[in-house]
Amino acid sequence: MVRQRRPTITDVARAAGVSKGAVSFALNGRPGVAEETRQRILAAAKELGWTPSHRARALSASRAFAVGLVLARPPELLGVDPFFPAFIAGVERVLAERNQALVLQVVTSQRAEEDGYRRLAADGRVDGVFLLDLRVADPRIALLKQLRLPAVTLGRPDVASPFPAVLVDDRPGITAAVSHLVELGHRHVAHVAGPEHFLHGAARRDAWEGALRAAGLPPGPCVPSDFSAAGGARATRQLLDLADPPSAIIYANDLMAMAGMAVARERGIDVPGGLSVTGFDDTELAAHLSPALTSVRTDPSGWGGVAARTLLDLIDGDGVADVEMPPAQLVVRASTAAPPPTPHQAP
């Protein structure tokens, strides 16, 4: 049996009547080819049964045609927090269009995370990386600069960075949640925050505190947590055990808010009659709870797509600037209402 020769990019160029360079641009989704020509090239490739040879592309271009994402989060949290699957889905949509791959590593410590980036760079497995979960004085910025590994950050670091950023501002969403609760009559609003060393956790906490002060109210109690359901439940119990428990709690993500609602039900506290609750992310499940969760809507899938396009353009040597995303917005549902009367008030 004679093995049939695999069609090459040269065959596609000959069939479409164009140069090999034009075929490369068209098949990799890059600009510079007229749409009519692009469609003719794609039709020729389909008719010939051409498929990309990742190995040949990598060898000819000295490129990995892959990008990396290293996450220092507990694996069990990734399985239940909808943010990461949504972000990765947005990344993958763009990578599929460009015939690129995603190398994902989940590690359990910051040291292992840094080692992961070093291995990716040393082995040449990726052409660039995404940097999520930015931290206070994030040491990874200097590390990636030292490794000469192109990167895109989700958010702007608080240290000097040579990398473009996808700018995501959580503060307007938290500010809107505080304003909504204040307008309902709440004067004792607590916050279950994300980890203090994460910039987005600190930004949401600062927005909560600033919005209350702007309304002429002292910030209520704040309990740092870890974005997990278990952490949200622990923090809620701590707040409800206070001598003067809050009438409303703003959570730094939906997962902790959902756990907090469950704790309130366990204690016989009606949501929202006895306790108002807001989340953050507006995950798909938020609208289907009972009561439906008031939450801050974000777009992690859209962020992932923008981050992927930005990183691939950076790798290709194009001039890349920061990309500012639309601000988060509050979606009001049934988990918030006016606070219950205080003991000295008439019902």
In whole angstroms, give the CA distance from residue 108 to residue 280: 24
pTM: 0.81
For 321, residues 6+ apart whose C-beta sits below 8 A from its C-beta are: 164
What are the residue boundaries of the structural domains of the chain, listed by start?
Answer: 9-51, 66-169+300-327, 171-298
Question: Do the two domains 66-169+300-327 and 171-298 of this chain adopt the same fold?
Answer: yes
Query: Using alpha carbons only, what angle is made at residue 123 by residues 121 and 124, rounded to the nearest 5 degrees?
Result: 65
Q: Positive or negative CA dihedral for 106, 122, 313, 103?
A: negative
Could you read off the pLDDT tens digit of each residue along the chain, which spans 347 residues? 344 567 787 888 888 898 877 887 787 766 677 888 888 888 888 888 876 654 444 444 467 889 999 999 887 777 778 899 999 999 999 999 888 999 999 998 989 999 999 999 988 899 999 999 999 999 999 999 999 999 999 999 999 999 999 999 999 999 999 999 999 999 999 999 999 999 999 999 999 999 999 999 999 999 999 999 999 999 999 999 999 999 999 999 999 999 999 999 999 999 999 999 999 999 999 999 999 999 999 999 999 999 999 999 999 887 889 999 998 899 999 999 999 987 544 44
Token pair for 208: 């909560």
pLDDT in the model for residue 5: 65
With CA atoms as reference, report the closest residue to 126 among 98, 151, 97: 151
Token pair for 127: 């052409």
Sheet containing 128-131: which strands, arranged edge to edge? 101-107, 66-72, 128-131, 151-154, 165-167, 323-324
Q: Which residues pair with 323 in a beta bridge?
A: 166
Token pair for 271: 């949501």
Number of residues that this document lists for the chain = 347
Q: Which residues pair with 278 in a beta bridge?
A: 250, 294
pLDDT in the model for residue 31: 67
Tell me yes or no: is domain 9-51 CATH 3.90.1150.10.
Answer: no
pLDDT in the model for residue 58: 45
Superfamily the domain 66-169+300-327 falls into: Response regulator (3.40.50.2300)
With CA atoms as reference, report the closest residue to 244 among 174, 178, 190, 191: 190
In whole angstroms, give the CA distance from residue 130 to residue 154: 8
For 36, residues 6+ apart whose C-beta sits below 8 A from its C-beta are: none
Tell me yes or no: is domain 171-298 CATH 3.40.50.2020.
Answer: no
With CA atoms as reference, report the closest residue to 277 among 300, 304, 259: 259
In whole angstroms, give the CA distance from residue 345 to residue 347: 6
pLDDT in the model for residue 346: 43
With CA atoms as reference, report the closest residue to 196 among 158, 223, 178, 175: 223
Please tell me what DSSP assigns to residue 135. B
pLDDT in the model for residue 11: 85
In whole angstroms, give the CA distance from residue 56 to residue 61: 8
CA 209 from centroid of its chain's CA atoms: 23
Place of tokens 């060393």: 197
In whole angstroms, give the CA distance from residue 108 to residue 87: 20
Token pair for 211: 């919005």
* CA distances for 9 relative to 50, 55, 125, angstroms: 8, 14, 24
pLDDT in the model for residue 52: 63
In whole angstroms, give the CA distance from residue 80 to residue 132: 18
Query: Using alpha carbons only, what angle is made at residue 14 by residues 19 and 99, rounded to the nearest 5 degrees?
Result: 65
